[in-house]
Structure 1
Amino acid sequence: MPLAHNLNKVTKNLSKSTGSIHIKGRKFKQLNRATVRDKKLKKQKLESIEKKSNELLIVTFIQNQIQNDDNETYSLDEIKNFIEDFINIDREKLAEESKNHRKGRPISTKQKLLTEKLKHAEHLFETGYKVPDLGDAETVTRLRSWNGTTGATTGFKFIHITKSMKEFPTKEVEME
């Protein structure tokens, strides 16, 4: 079984050979496999980056909320309020879109996306939102000085917060 090469290496090797590439030839099939493999890897990378950036939206929001406070730690109710405020941003955007919606017209794509995003955020809050542990003073200080990158989140302790939670969970969660 031949080793998998990236698209740049395959095209470089093919450019060295003289002559044209036949459609049913080995070189054409090799180039085709490399192209498909390259597209697949780019798609996976984009999905991964998008997933990480969506997870960091709540962390950025919480950082902005605690930036001007002097509290060392926060209670569970305060963390729940931060999450509610984060979800309310989408609610306000959806209400604004609904207000601008003209009767007799189909709903806009933006309104559909906001509705789905709001449903997803509420579902996450019911099942468990992954947020930095603001009950830990060290995490709070690190969050205040956070530069917004994914790599810098490794110093945070993360916990899952649900809407029905009564006390802090005892086990922390690693950032993926």
Structure 2
Amino acid sequence: MPKSVAKTRKKISKKKGNNITALHENSRDVQRLKRAEMRDHKLVRVASARRKHDQPLVVRAAYFQEAVRANDQKPLELSAIQNLIHDFVHQHDEDYSMMKKERRAGRPASTREDMLKMKIAADEKEYENGFYMPDLADTDNVIYLDRWEGTYTYLSSLKWVLVSRSGEVKVTKFPPKGEA
């Protein structure tokens, strides 16, 4: 949590005494406080944006962690990995088809329905070109993935691969930089 406003307020109160409310509206000290507050708001905004950007990879790693745990922390064959990827890509199909059936004829699709359709299409395209995921064929990586506690920073210690629908597996780096 940012604390530059608290530090700035403390420095100004030491200089001015405890009467920090008696500052002039455009004084240097008030400007320092405003800058500190803007800096704190920026740090919160950037941290929030980063968490939002990193969330899909965390969700993806959690999905494959559950698959590893269901397999008793053993490495998987390519066919089993492709089945897991297929299940991951099509996990929203039921929701999408249900929403499509519930919609009255002639009505436009809801925003949520459009979002699900775009997500499914994007995952399908990624799977066609190379699905970005932790390497589940490597014994050590499977153990590390099982130990993962849910933080984004730990994901960089895992080995990541791109698995295409045709069965091609390419080793890649974390975080992804648009290779897929």
- Please report the TM-score for the alignment, with normalisation by the length of structure 2: 0.75
Instruction: Give the share of equivalent positions with the same residue, in percent.
Output: 27
C-alpha change, 1:167 and 1:114, in structure 2 (3 Å) is closer
Match of 1:68 in 2: 70
The counterpart of 1:23, out of the listed 16, 22, 25, is 25
Contact 2:73 2:143 (C-alpha < 8 Å) held by counterparts: no
How large is the RMSD of aligned CA atoms in angstroms? Answer: 2.8
How far the C-alpha of 1:148 sits from its partner, in A, is 3.1
Match of 2:87 in 1: 85
What are structure 2's unaligned runs of at least 5 residues? none
SS, match of residue 150 in structure 2:
coil
How many correspondences in the alignment?
Answer: 170
Contact 1:76 1:167 (C-alpha < 8 Å) held by counterparts: no
Contact 1:80 1:163 (C-alpha < 8 Å) held by counterparts: yes
What are structure 1's unaligned runs of at least 5 residues? none
Match of 1:9 in 2: 7
How far the C-alpha of 1:43 sits from its partner, in A, is 1.2
**Structure 1: which 4+ aligned runs deviate by more than 6 Å?**
none
How far the C-alpha of 1:86 sits from its partner, in A, is 0.7
Render the CA deviation track for 1:119-140: whole Å, top value 9, x for unaligned: 3333433443321111212222
SS, match of residue 47 in structure 2:
helix
Q: Give the letter for the 1:157 counterpart.
A: K
2:107, 2:124 → 1: CA distance? 27
Structure 1 residues 37-46 or 128-137, which shifts more?
Answer: 128-137
How far the C-alpha of 1:83 sits from its partner, in A, is 1.5
- Please report the TM-score for the alignment, with normalisation by the length of structure 1: 0.76
